Chains A and B, each alone.
Chain A
Amino acid sequence: SQTIHQWPATLVQPVGSPLSLECTVEGTSNPNLYWYRQAAGRGLQLLFYSVGIGQISSEVPQNLSASRPQDRQFILSSKKLLLSDSGFYLCAWSRGWTDTQYFGPGTRLTVL
């Protein structure tokens, strides 16, 4: 069966510090991978998606970037965090565009 992992589970960072969140998927190959952000009391906003190694598409221009160094690894980064980057970050995967998306447990990021 497939599982998706995210770490860390929680993170408190000062404004201006760098960020690296990691997502890995087990039990499948060549998945589509997604990064979402969920602000308090809001829905899910798609940030990035990837259909393969090194292929990243950005949905919302902002302070964040994403990379996919390996088939089942997806990384969300920032060089300098802003207060507005606080939120719940979710990674998801699917087999293809027409398939169900499955979400990871999420990372709670607080920028102070």
Chain B
Amino acid sequence: GENVEQHPSTLSVQEGDSAVIKCTYSDSASNYFPWYKQELGKGPQLIIDIRSNVGEKKDQRIAVTLNKTAKHFSLHITETQPEDSAVYFCAARHAQGGSQGNLIFGKGTKLSVKP
């Protein structure tokens, strides 16, 4: 089955710097890759997602890139702010439905933005 690895597990940056979180997946049939942000004590919130028919997607300070050949995708946050501090999760989903269509999550990256 699908396996998603996420790096780094912790990341500390200065306010205003960029942050990059990388994920690799194992199943080449996966075609949907969301990123979630989880603040302490809350449920994960979707921040951006990408499907396998595009290589990059941007939403203001957040961007995601996908390399299908290498089977990895990355989250880029520019001009980081203290409120970006949270745990970020990547996930991958197989093209089929049923149990194969379930999201497989990485183990998360704790991002700390220092003022």
CB proximity of A92 to chain B, nearest CB, Å: 8
B99 within 8 A of A: yes
Q: Contact residue range for chain B?
A: 20 to 34
Q: Chain A residues near B34: list those with CB within 8 A.
A: 100-101
Complex Cα–Cα for A108 and B99 (A): 26
Q: Contact residue range for chain A?
A: 20 to 34
Q: Chain B residues near A59: list those with CB within 8 A.
A: 99, 102
Complex Cα–Cα for A110 and B82 (A): 30
Interface of A is mostly: loop
Complex Cα–Cα for A34 and B42 (A): 17
Residue interface bits B83-115, CB-to-A below 8 A is 1, else 0: 000000100000011110111011110000000
4 A-B pairs with the lowest CB-CB distances in the bound complex, closest first: A97-B97, A103-B43, A97-B101, A43-B107
Query: Could you tell me which A residues sit within 8 Å of B by CB distance?
Result: 34, 42-44, 46, 49, 57, 59, 90, 96-98, 100-106, 108
